[in-house]
Amino acid sequence: MFNSLSDRLTATFKNLRTKGRLSESDVNKTVRDIRLALLDADVALPVVKEFTSAVRERALGAEVSGALNPAQQVVKIVNDELVSILGGETRKLRLAKNPPTVIMLAGLQGSGKTTLAGKLGKFLKDQGQTPLLVAADLQRPNAVTQLEVVGQRAGVPVFAPERGNIAGHDAVTGAIEGTRSFGDPVAVAEAGIQEACNKLYSVVIVDTAGRLAVDENLMQQAADIRAAIQPDEVLFVIDAMIGQAAVDTAEAFLHGVDFTGVVLSKLDGDARGGAALSVASVTGRPIMFASTGEGVKDFEVFHPDRMASRILDMGDVLTLIEQAEKAFDQRHAQEMERKFLAQEDFTFDDFLQQMAAIKKMGSLKSMLGMMPGMGQMRAQLDALDEREFDRVEAMVQSMTPFERTHPKQINGSRRARIAKGSGVTASEVNALLERFGEAQKMMKSLARGGGIPGMPGLGGGAGKKGRQPAPQRKKSKSGNPAKRAAEARASAAKGSGGSAFGTPSGTSRLDASALDTSQLPPGFEKFLGK
């Protein structure tokens, strides 16, 4: 989404790193480049003016002039201002003290409200809530059916008493206690909340209708639903790819419905991302969630500080860690740690478990994109074929349980069978086994504290045991008898190998003849054996 903006800002900051001090002209040029980058990303003009004005004022102050590294200080200022226009801090859902919590979704048609209802339901379900989706969009053809399909994928129940618009024709079939037609979205929303109360659902997510453009009927219907159900949260779902139009749409919904938070959808697209940088600042409402794909798991809490780091190509390691904690089993991680410290072989069974955990985390490209500095390797990331992992998994699955734990026993005939079973060539199986063997050696080397082969200075790891220095080889005795006798006398004089009291080894008594006994007390001679 922010590739173009990220590239331009990175290039701007790269030019600053060569300067030891920043003059006013340097700051003005940097601010001008930032302004052009934001305008090119389709950010709203008032937001651009406010942003660049704040950056210029701080960059010309003592904050930068007294810094040891002015370029890094300017990057910090830009990061702080990006966090500010993106909302400042993370805003979480406000849950009702007395369930159910009612969440209403609003937005234009095509913004992704129905898909997002399922994603939000899955997100809340994973947090221990019991959500219910209510199909109150009765105008868009097959909207109810779509919500049922999304709810089934997310594992969340859907309340849909009315089929709504099917193939362009209204399908109004019943009434609620003789008061309103089931075709009335307000009545459906009210009935959905009553259903949640009766069956003790903790959260109700109401999917409402949209239009291709803002009109009076849309606003009136959304306002009527809000007045009837009194939601705890009204989430405005906006397509992050519509650019400047996002600001006008957001302002119209703000005055017509008065939403409490924003959800950005389609952040995985290739648009310039101006909506994300504009809507929070213009409306004064926080961005709460972001939708990053078509799957029900492609949904995350919006963190302004982490999004600013992504834009500046500084990565998002915290989100990556959170995803890993959710995907990796704690007991398996402890078992892997035990194997590593015990220097046990890493097997193909362990490899399969690691592969399954990585798949739970989502797309490998998106995970690698969260690493700092990966924006400079975007071409390599785009060329990454994630289907290669499926082929590797197929080869491992074609192995017998014995072969997975004893890869060295896989001979030529076994390799041919594995290749045939997985639909690959024998050379690909050979390459896999060769890489796996190198990985086993590297893990053992790390466990012994030897570091990664070919990378000096990485020894002394946690698994390194206290190793005693290698004993020195004893020098052979000289062949010269006179020299050999001299060495023996020197060794005896040092007292090496003596007893605890300093008596040379092999000597049971002192040599009394070598002592001067004239100074000893009377009668002490008997202790010397004289």
According to the annotation, is 208 in a ligand binding site? yes
25 residue type, one letter: S
According to the annotation, is 25 in a ligand binding site? no
Triad 495, 500, 501: Cα angle to 5°? 75
According to the annotation, is 110 in a ligand binding site? yes
According to the annotation, is 112 in a ligand binding site? yes
How many angstroms separate the CA atoms of 316 and 360, rounded? 18
Farthest-apart Cα atoms in the chain, separation? 132
Cβ atoms of 434 and 426 closer than 8 Å: no
Cβ atoms of 287 and 236 closer than 8 Å: no
According to the annotation, is 400 in a ligand binding site? no
According to the annotation, is 345 in a ligand binding site? no
Which backbone phi and psi does 10 adopt, to 5 degrees? Answer: -65, -40
According to the annotation, is 265 in a ligand binding site? yes
Length of the chain, in residues = 530
Nearest Cα neighbor of 103 from 123, 132, 128, 127 is: 132
Say what the alpha-carbon torsion angle 203, 147, 366, 41 is, to the nearest 10 degrees.
Answer: -100
Triad 119, 281, 87: Cα angle to 5°? 55
According to the annotation, is 42 in a ligand binding site? no
Nearest Cα neighbor of 155 from 187, 184, 175, 132 is: 132
How many angstroms separate the CA atoms of 187 and 208, rounded? 12
> Distances in Å between the alpha carbon of 175 and those of 163, 165, 185, 186?
13, 16, 12, 12
Residue with tokens 């504009």: 278
Two tokens, residue 137:
């969009």
According to the annotation, is 49 in a ligand binding site? no
Triad 268, 269, 272: Cα angle to 5°? 115
How many angstroms separate the CA atoms of 327 and 389, rounded? 17
According to the annotation, is 108 in a ligand binding site? yes
According to the annotation, is 382 in a ligand binding site? no
According to the annotation, is 109 in a ligand binding site? yes
According to the annotation, is 119 in a ligand binding site? no
Instruction: Tell me the three state secondary structure of residue 263.
Output: strand
Q: Which residues contact 188 (CB under 8 A, 6 or more apart)?
A: 134, 135, 136, 138, 161, 162, 182
Could you write out the DSSP letters of every residue in 138-166? -SSTTHHHHHHHHHHHHT--EE-S---EE
Instruction: Tell me the three state secondary structure of residue 236.
Output: strand
Element (H, E) at 103: strand 101-106
Query: Known binding site: residues?
Result: 107-114, 207-211, 265-268
Query: Known binding site for GTP: residues?
Result: 107-114, 207-211, 265-268
